[in-house]
Amino acid sequence: MQLLIAANWKMYKTGEEAVSTLADLGRLLPSPPGDRQVVVFVPFTALAQAARAAGPGLALGAQNCYPAEEGAFTGEISPAMIRAAGGTWVLAGHSERRSLFRESDDFVGRKTAFALRAGLQVILCVGETLEERDSGGLRPVLERQMRGGLDGVDPAFLPSSLAVAYEPVWAIGSGRVAGREEILEAHGLIRSLLENRFGAAGRGARILYGGSVKPDNAGSVLGLDNVNGVLVGGASLRAESFSAIARAPVPGTGR
């Protein structure tokens, strides 16, 4: 299984800025190590320019989509538009979409299933807030988000086209990476939910960790059981730090 190293640029970078960062990335990481796949989730407005500028071995994605082929959905973008602009991936259910834009589990699930059917690969993001962790615990939140997010997903798309990113909300942009035990517990739980839902295909699907991943912690995070990649926000904005994460040696694995 290739590790999936993903950059989430959020609402940063114009088309020109994206092209310039990708050029730097091309110099620092001319091709990703063979055991790794690299994808950069850029703003919609930068996607077509970025797709023309991206070097070999680098895939591009959008950070959101609307689950319809076309229609009267002012301000929204369809999976087909993302593909036409050169994107092959999309994020679904990032915690900023859930909290700032009130996206429900059900809506995230509709997007995930629709985007897969439309030919995109999807990273479904899940993760608990600090209040949820302190009150009801991790399990009910992850169970609910996974059930809603995967409802309607055709098992034929696993393992290659669907990945799940565990991003505890309290670790995003906070500088506080989740601890080893916290990551092991959440990823183990997500793995068992994937297996219950999809059987063997769920065993092969990649589970990414996201939340304050930096060059100095990426290798140890990638070395944990059931961690098959990382989703990187702040540290992905500069080619120097993102290329260091993409190349980070994983202790004890020879990777």
Query: DSSP string of 100-152?
Result: HS---HHHHHHHHHHHHHTT-EEEEEE---HHHHHHT-HHHHHHHHHHHHHTT
The closest of 94, 169, 98, 183 to 130, measured between CA atoms, is: 169
Cβ-based burial of 134 (10 A; exposed 0-12, middle 13-18, buried ≥19): exposed
In the three-class reduction of DSSP (H, G, I as helix; E, B as strand; rest coil), residue 211 is classed as coil
Q: Pick the binder of ligand PGA from 233, 241, 242, 244 (CB under 6 A).
A: 233
Q: Is 103 a catalytic residue?
A: no
- Asked if 211 is part of the footprint of ligand PGA (rule: CB under 6 A), the reply reads yes
- Asked if 128 is part of the footprint of ligand PGA (rule: CB under 6 A), the reply reads no
Q: Pick the binder of ligand PGA from 173, 179, 199, 249 (CB under 6 A).
A: 173
Q: Which residues contact 210 (CB under 8 A, 6 or more apart)?
A: 8, 125, 127, 165, 166, 167, 171, 172, 230, 231, 232, 233
Least Å from the CB of residue 175 to ligand PGA: 8
Cβ closer to ligand PGA: 25 or 235? 235
Query: How far apart are the C-alpha atoms of 195 and 152, rounded to whole Å?
Result: 16
Q: Is 187 a catalytic residue?
A: no
- Asked if 86 is part of the footprint of ligand PGA (rule: CB under 6 A), the reply reads no
Residue among 96, 132, 167, 187 flagged as catalytic: 167
Least Å from the CB of residue 210 to ligand PGA: 4
Which among 62-70, 138-146, 207-215, 218-226 is the span making contact with ligand PGA, rule CB under 6 A? 207-215
Number of residues near ligand PGA (by CB under 6 A): 13
Least Å from the CB of residue 178 to ligand PGA: 10
Residue among 16, 94, 103, 185 flagged as catalytic: 94
Using CB under 6 A as the criterion, which residues of the chain lie in contact with ligand PGA when the complex forms? 8, 167, 172-173, 210-213, 231-235
> Could you give the residue numbers annotated as active site?
94, 167
